[in-house]
Amino acid sequence: MPLTFTFDNGPVPGATDKVLDFLAAWSIKAIFFVVGSHLRTPDGRRLAERAHAEGHWIGNHTYGHGEPLGVSGSRRRVEHEIGETQRLLGPLAHPQRLFRPNGRGALGPHLLSRHAVDYLVEHRFTVATWNNVPRDWQEPKRNWLERALASLAASSWSVLVLHDEHIAGMMDTLSEFHRRIVEADIEIVQDLPASCMPIRNGTITAHLDGLVTPKVAV
């Protein structure tokens, strides 16, 4: 059973550093979905460059991590949230142009607008979703470990979503999670299952009805 580590909402100085140290210590390659505005700071840029240099994949997680694009996704906003972040990523971006919409930890039609889908297809992005969100921001935060393990057991390939800023304060819990998955002989991979890529290199590969705001009848 494969497991993919993904980390959202960074880079965050003082947090992403700790995550990268942990991954390096265990030779784990992960995927970081970064917020574009964080790349404008020297420390944020440094951390993204470090992650890239250490072999982690870097994806786009919108510019401001505000309202999901399915809630407020005009063409102009889409171009800013996705396009500006991709511009800031530059050579750090994964060749598949990975994009993860922000959605408060849940899949649903709030994720993408029709304009967002059109933009992602036109610019040949790959949309990366998830199937294991243990809510490491929810109190009591350390309970994410058991939720992650339960979700892992229910999936043939787990795409785990953790958050730099939250998990950095629970590195001991992350170490325990790693110990548990090693004991269970779970393979850590740096890839995504087809089921979590409804758009791949600009081609729609799955029905998007559950991820896109419905058209309004007129």
- What is residue 214's predicted lDDT score, i.e. its pLDDT? 83
What CATH number should be reported for the domain holding residue 112?
Answer: 3.20.20.370
Sign of the CA dihedral with 212 first, then 7, 128, and 148 last? negative
Rounded to whole angstroms, the Cα distance separating 56 from 54 reads: 6
Helix H or strand E encompassing 125: none
Residue 216 in this model has a pLDDT that exceeds 90: no
Asked if the structure places residue 217 within a domain, the reply is no
Sign for the CA dihedral angle at 66, 69, 71, 72 comes to: positive
Rounded to the nearest integer, the mean pLDDT of the chain is 95
**Residue with the two structure tokens 């170490």:** 175
pTM of the predicted structure, to 2 decimals: 0.96
The domain of 182 spans 2-204
Segment 102-116 mean pLDDT:
94
Q: Is residue 127 part of a domain?
A: yes
Measure the CA dihedral 146/151/157/158, to 10°.
Answer: -60
User: Which whole-number Å values give the CA distances from 196 to 19, 36, 93, 193, in the listed order?
Assistant: 23, 22, 19, 6
Can you tell me whether residue 127 is helix, strand or coil? strand
- 142 within domain boundaries: yes
Which amino acid would we find at residue 131?
A: N
- Asked if the structure places residue 69 within a domain, the reply is yes
User: Tens digit of pLDDT for each residue in 117-127?
Assistant: 999 999 999 99
Nearest to 57 by CA among 102, 96, 18: 96
DSSP count for the chain of H helices, then E strands: 8, 9
Strand partners, 6: 31, 161
The model's pLDDT over 152-163, given as tens digits with 9 standing for 90+, comes to 999 999 999 999
Res 47: pLDDT: 98
Residue 218 has pLDDT above 80, yes or no: no
Q: Classify residue 21: in a domain, yes or no.
A: yes
- Predicted confidence at residue 217, as pLDDT, reads 36
147 pLDDT higher than 70 = yes
Say how many domains are in the chain. 1
pLDDT of 105 reads: 86
51 occurs within a structural domain? yes
Residue 1: predicted pLDDT: 84
Q: pLDDT band at 81, cuts 50/70/90?
A: very high
- CB-count exposure of residue 21 (10 Å: 0-12, 13-18, 19+): exposed
Within-domain flag for 171: yes
Contact 9, 47 (CB under 8 A): no
pLDDT at 104 (0 to 100): 83
Each residue's pLDDT tens digit, 37-66: 999 999 999 999 999 999 999 999 999 998
pLDDT tens track for 136-145: 999 999 999 9
> Both tokens of residue 112?
């993408």
Residue 42 in any domain: the answer is yes
